[in-house]
Amino acid sequence: LQFDGFILNQTHRSQPTLPLGVMYKAPEPMGEHFFAESFDRGTMDGWVLSRAKKDDADEEIAKYDGKWAVEEMKDSKLPGDMGLVLKSRAKHHAISSLLLRPFTFEDKPLIVQYEVNFQSGIDCGGAYVKLLTQTPDLDLNQFVDKTSYTIMFGPDKCGEDYKLHFIFRHKNPKTGEFEEKHAKKPDADLRTYYTDKKTHLYTLVLNPDNSFEVLVDQTVVNSGNLLTDMTPPVNPPAEIEDPDDHKPEDWDERAKIQDPDAVKPEDWDEDAPAQIADEDAVKPDGWLDDEPEYIGDPEAAKPEDWDEDMDGEWEAPQIPNPACETAPGCGVWKRPMIDNPNYKGKWKPPMIDNPNYQGVWKPRKIPNPAFFEDLHPFKMTPFSAVGLELWSMTSDIFFDNFFITNDRNTADRWANDGWGLKKAAEGAAEPSLASQMLTAAEERPWLWIVYVLTVALPLVLIIVFCCTGKKKSAATPAEYKKTDEPQPDVKEDEEGEEEEVEEEKAEEAEKSSPG
């Protein structure tokens, strides 16, 4: 039985048991598309391994000899789901494949999406794709870092720097030269996508109106416009500073100057000290003038191996004078120092506004000889292949379900049939909260105390409170709420009850009397 990409397993198979009996079915491209690759044939047919060398690297690492394999994920929840795996550490990897036909930027959007799983985490390395520019000399066997590309997109991480690249190469209409334009950094926290060892879907959407979106797991994490949100900007400024303009020698940029007419007051004493002795201070009673603050330790003894010829005259180590412990002080008393009220310091003329101030000098503006205006940067150079050109210090990076199209619905359908199935299987296989708590407590027994305090104790208190509450006593006349509605005549009821008690007593007395 098949339901939206899920197949219920009705027969016994040798494969591992899947959550809810779900079996994997390879996604099938439907609708307009330029590239679709699920690797579920189990081969790298259609993909070309680079045989080139990097020009600017040592001979030992210059070769693109990193290993690739088509295989299942190490902890696959979907037996039969294959992907392309980067297998080597600290090596250059390059592999590429031609599109069904070149993509030309006209009046329809571009949607690029693929899946990545950092099965072993990621220390330093990339998992981005390059859309290789259509050129007459494009040779996939010689695919290197300098091979022309139109767009570079995808995750990259080194240390604590988590990146999600979107870079496109813009052709200068005046010079014909290309320049990389980088999208602003996403505001979203990307850390989880690199550390949780789950499969994530990366999607780039470019629209003919120059808007773009970057999505992870079908959630927008970055968006903007090619004209306003790229660095450096697509279009250069219309004016630039004149490189031949120089600041005049007499240009005065000082906003404030010393008052040239100011004169030091005659009573200004530059020699007065900043602090003086407090003449109003009085020596505290009980001050021990003749007692030193420190004395030689009377219990100390000269070491037996002390040689006065070599070590000099021996002196006992100094300790605080016990006689000073109860006194306000010992030794020669000196008046404390206080700030000098007459201290003024070195005299300086006051600052005044500079009458000759001309402002901060800037070169004059001139028309930018390199100026151009490209209002349609979406119309990029056509591309005809997709490639992975990577260096990584971590192996086992899993790639899957590459898809390039100009129709958003077609891309979403492919994503739901591929990544959506993975997500459902991974979610179903995750342990419940209770299982996670038990596992954590087995590794860290002290967590049982936390569980008791946060879960069991509040439940016990609630039960005790509910079961031991006092019964409410009958209301007294004073407790009845004062309203306009008639209230029961409590006094009459009480008198009636008293009469009934008296009658019962009388009847019992008659029965017990003789005769």
Alpha-carbon gap, residue 224 to 163, rounded angstroms: 17
Whether the CB-CB separation of 5 and 26 falls below 8 Å is answered with: no
Q: Would you state the pLDDT for residue 159?
A: 85
Q: Is residue 196 part of a domain?
A: yes
Q: Is residue 355 part of a domain?
A: no
Helix 419-429 to helix 408-417 angle (10° resolution) is 40
One domain, residues 442 and 415 = no
One domain, residues 44 and 69 = yes
Q: Would you state the pLDDT for residue 75?
A: 86
Q: Is residue 4 part of a domain?
A: no
**Placement of tokens 């000759």 in the chain:** 356
Both structure tokens of 184: 């602003």
What stretches of 187-304 show up as alpha helix (H) in DSSP? 191-195
One domain, residues 71 and 90 = yes
One domain, residues 421 and 438 = no
Q: Would you state the pLDDT for residue 16?
A: 39
Burial class (CB in 10 A: 0-12, 13-18, 19+), 197: middle
Both structure tokens of 275: 């602090």
Q: Is residue 423 part of a domain?
A: yes
- Identify any residues that bridge with 215 across adjacent strands, giving them in sequence order: 203, 220
Both structure tokens of 318: 């100094």
Whether the CB-CB separation of 255 and 360 falls below 8 Å is answered with: no
The answer to pTM > 0.75 is no
- Our count of domains for the chain comes to 2
One domain, residues 381 and 454 = no
One domain, residues 108 and 132 = yes
Q: Is residue 38 part of a domain?
A: yes
For the chain, 515 residues long, the average pLDDT of each consecutive 10-residue run is 34 40 79 95 94 78 89 89 93 95 97 95 92 96 95 93 95 95 91 91 98 96 96 96 95 95 92 92 92 91 89 91 92 93 92 96 95 96 97 93 96 93 78 60 69 72 71 48 49 56 63 52
Q: Is residue 415 part of a domain?
A: yes
Q: What is the span of the domain harbouring residue 447?
A: 434-460
Find the CATH number of the domain harbouring 139: 2.60.120.200
One domain, residues 105 and 37 = yes
As separate numbers, helices (DSSP H) first and strands (DSSP E) second, the chain gives 9, 28
Q: Would you state the pLDDT for residue 465?
A: 75
Q: Is residue 26 part of a domain?
A: no
Region for residue 507 given its phi and psi (left: phi exceeds 0; alpha: psi -120 to 50; beta: otherwise): alpha
Dihedral, CA atoms, 138, 139, 145, 148, nearest 10 degrees? 0
Region for residue 201 given its phi and psi (left: phi exceeds 0; alpha: psi -120 to 50; beta: otherwise): beta
Q: Would you state the pLDDT for residue 432?
A: 54
Q: Would you state the pLDDT for residue 464?
A: 75
Whether the CB-CB separation of 406 and 111 falls below 8 Å is answered with: yes
What stretches of 179-264 show up as alpha helix (H) in DSSP? 191-195
Whether the CB-CB separation of 77 and 422 falls below 8 Å is answered with: yes
What stretches of 53-190 show up as alpha helix (H) in DSSP? 59-62
